Amino acid sequence: MTDKDTFSEVVDVTLYRYNSIDNKIWGIIKRDNSHKKLSDDSVLISTANLRQQLINNFKKDLNRVESMGSSVVHKEATSIYFLWNMLEEMLNLRWVKFTLNKNIAYNRVIEVDDIKTIKYSIKTIRGTLRLFEIFEFPHLYAVNAVLEDAKIMPPDRHFVVIKTSELVFKLERVLTDNNAMEVNSIVGALLQYIGEYESDNPEILLVTDY
């Protein structure tokens, strides 16, 4: 993650039963009295408690994270590296759902352009899109009008909850129905912002102002 993420509030992280560090993390979280059991293979823990558990149980690993360069990530990185960076980069993250994968055959190492790297599974499942953080306040009237016309935001409402896939569908339909420059600019900015999360299809709390 190169830019700070202010969107994600709840994420789903996959841990593997047959990875020693993942299994240790799973056990630590399960023993944390604050965790919420969702199923036999999934739990929910607050970011504050997760951060404290990492500090309490993985001090040496965290010290290595601080000195680790990106060029050695595929050789040295563990779940501690990715979880700590997640906590540092996702500024509004509140909850982490951990899902335990019991498949004995797995490999996080992938090759991209003949370079080995690690693909770590962090999926955003809930986020907040604050329109006043994307657009200048004087432009919100036009933004709200586009959202109302597209049946995304009810009139005079300050928020709505919508799945990413539905939001993308309705925004793309706006582009087919209206080719005005201002509308294209507004829709384009929104699609660009949520494009990073589209494959995860999180639930979005869309917040505006008047």
As beta bridge partners, residue 184 has none
CA 7 to chain CA mean position, Å: 7
Rounded to whole angstroms, the Cα distance separating 95 from 88 reads 14
pLDDT of the chain, 210 residues: tens digit per residue: 447 899 999 999 999 999 899 999 999 999 999 999 999 999 999 999 999 999 999 998 888 877 766 555 555 678 998 999 999 999 999 999 999 999 877 767 777 667 666 778 899 999 999 999 999 988 999 999 999 999 999 988 999 999 999 999 999 999 998 889 999 999 999 999 999 999 999 999 999 988
| 28 Cβ contact list (under 8 Å, min separation 6) | 53, 57
Residue 177 confidence (pLDDT): 87
Cα→Cα distances 150→62, 103, 154, 169, 185, Å = 47, 44, 10, 10, 15
Mind spelling out the 3-state secondary structure of the chain? CCCCECCEEEEEEEEECCCHHHHHHHHHHHHCCCCEEEECCEEEEEHHHHHHHHHHHCHHHHHHHHHCCHHHHHHHCCHHHHHHHHHHHECCCCEEEEEEECCCCCCCEEEECCEEEECCCEEEEEEEEEHHHCCCHHHHHHHHHHHHHCCCCCCCCCEEEEEHHHHHHHHHHHHHHCCCHHHHHHHHHHHHHHHCCCCCCCEEEEECCC
Where are the domains positioned within the chain?
8-120, 127-207
pLDDT at 1: 42
Quick one: which of 34, 32, 14 has its CA closest to 23? 14
User: What is the structure's pLDDT at 174?
Assistant: 94
Tens of pLDDT, residues 87-116: 999 999 999 999 999 987 776 777 766 766
Beta carbons of 161 and 206 less than 8 angstroms apart: yes
Return the structure tokens found at 41: 């293979």
The model's pTM is 0.87
**CA–CA dist 142, 175 (Å, integer):** 15
